[in-house]
Structure 1
Amino acid sequence: MVKWADICLPQDRGGLGILASRRMNVALMLDWVWRITLGDGGLWLRLLEAKYLQGIPLLACSCSAGSQFWKSIQAIKEEIRAGLWFSVHNGSGTQFWLDPCLDGAPLRLRFPGLFAICAAPTILVSEAALADRWHFEFFRSFGPAEVLEWNSMREVVPLPLSPEPDSVSSSLSPSGEFSVSSAYQALCRRPVLPWLSPLWKAPMPMKIKIFVWQLLRDRLLSGTEVLKRHGPGNGLRPLCHVPETGMHILFSCVAAQALWCYVREALGPEWVAHNFAEFLQVRATPAGRKRRLFWLVFSALTWTLWTTRNKMVIERVFPRRASDSFFKFLAFLQLWHPLARPRDRGRLQLSLDALLTTARRLSRTPSS
């Protein structure tokens, strides 16, 4: 089983792309926050300014009581800061320690020693810049570490000199404009896996893509996994009489090794599968149609091994010849061939011809 939080991740981050309702709700709330920050609103914005803000910047406002809408905004302040970048002019709209303004990061992270002893962590830049110098109140006097941070801060943080108000841009998109989709992606907090996106664009049925997704997450219901859940069977591979894991079914079993050797002989030495992670890192990263066709061949190969395994474990039907798996693998590729893009079909047909020629040669019975 896969956690629901992982299922709701975007497809290029290892999930199935199902929208997470809470994450989308926060992204939609951030759209309202963006409009408040830019002053883009009518009567509703004037009401918020008069009732809650009263001339204070949104992120600096500590009023937590009020309507459900206002409470929801106050509850996502950290998410708000993660998606904004402040350009300081007069400093009246930027909190010195908390708002990301210098190199896109808040100063509390760059100077943690000073922030830890600061008496006013929510102070505005305009309030801290007095008489052409920085003025802060601290709980205690500086030690050697704080002295170094203070000197460094004075060198890298410029005083606000412009009379213009501070401006805000979105750090989630190159254009600096906010969008709900970019906010939703940022809230996932998972790195993008660029080699995974082509899996979902590969020309094959959706159930096969989900099968490969389960394989990549090591969530196939192999014999050992069924045994953990107190299901039927002893957890052993019928063909090899060893504990049946997903990696054994698809890579270590003699049936799997025969099929991999066949593919390697037909398509080239790069189709070597000793280490699953290393194999994917090398074979799934090339750009363009090669990557799409890789996922097609890899999915057909692993699906062949999995269905063969189910025949043995569930129906107790064993393959009579190794070539049975070869032709079953070819049947899946030919079945999915019409799903390929027109520009990919020529390259796919060349691979099919090479695989078919090799299958016939390997399955030919020697004359006596």
Structure 2
Amino acid sequence: MKMALTLARRGLGQVAPNPAVGCVIVREESDAPRVVGRGWTQPGGRPHAETEALARAGALAKGATAYVSLEPCSHHGKTGPCAEALIEAGIARVVGTITDPNPEVAGRGFAMLQAKGIEVTENVCAADAYYLNEGFFLTMSERRPLVTLKIASSLDGRTATHDGHSRWITGEASRYRGHLLRATHDAILVGSATAIVDDPELTCRLPGLGGRSPIRIVADGRLRLPLTSKLVRDARQVPVWLLTLPGGDENRRKAFEECGVTLIDIDPDKGGVMNMRGAMEALAARGITRVLVEGGARLAASLVRDHLVDRIEWFQAPKVIGGDGYPAIAALGIKKIDEAPGFVLRATASLDGDTVASFVRGT
């Protein structure tokens, strides 16, 4: 199952709105178990992992065990049910992790297999399977994607000096890791101030992974992003979406659209600013399951304040900038410590002098 989960990770950032699934087919032979088929969800969500693994296994699938990192689907979509394909291939046993939260599946895949006499074992590595596809689960339970906040700062949580200088706080190894994060998310989100000041490309620029650049999204309520920005100039090569408030200047809206930029209207909250929960729901409705947020401080604060941040990847350089620098997260208006949103440390790593700490939202 660990192998199936590892295969599934290959699909992260490439398979939305589907989950990233891995499948390993094993024959129990006299000397030792033998892997006869491997598969993972292909870009765009099709073919599914089970279909890929069965194709590689061929006739050797008959009587074998299939390890699948999510319950096999049971409904007809663009392709037939994976549970049905496993049955037709003569699989004798299926080992699964966790029930598919899609209401069209929700246990029916396992039940279909059992009805045909196939032995089914569930809840193997279930916690790992949920973590891997948490974005897919959240789109089903909360109608929003997984939100990962990525921060690169000094030890005292500053992202730039008092005059705005920020390049480079962290080193090359940290930037490499940051690009890997981009490759495993469906979309990358920044605020309009970050997009204007930094004029970023927001692409994945690692060798061989250029095709895994996520959809670039800017939260720009007033359509301030310059039409000459890098994002707008190559919007037809790598998609760019603008989250904006309704009622913006029609000529400017038309100019963005003529450049290939997609505009998504988000209603304001009671304070007249963009409703970020509504924004996340709008992204989920468009098939986004994983969003990486890279700046700025006010956007980060609004997402944290609304309890929308599920994970934090915090890169810290061994430097101190001081209180006159720009904070990684703007003011939250917290008066008491027990009001502060909590996170749980999951892992840490050293990156050529920098440190990256991975956090998940506390319960």
Q: Report the TM-score when normalising by structure 1.
A: 0.22
Q: Report the TM-score when normalising by structure 2.
A: 0.22
- Structure (1 or 2) with the greater strand fraction: 2
For the pair shown, the structure with the greater C-alpha radius of gyration is 1
- The higher-RCO structure (CA 8 Å, 6+ apart) is 2
- Structure (1 or 2) with the greater helix fraction: 1
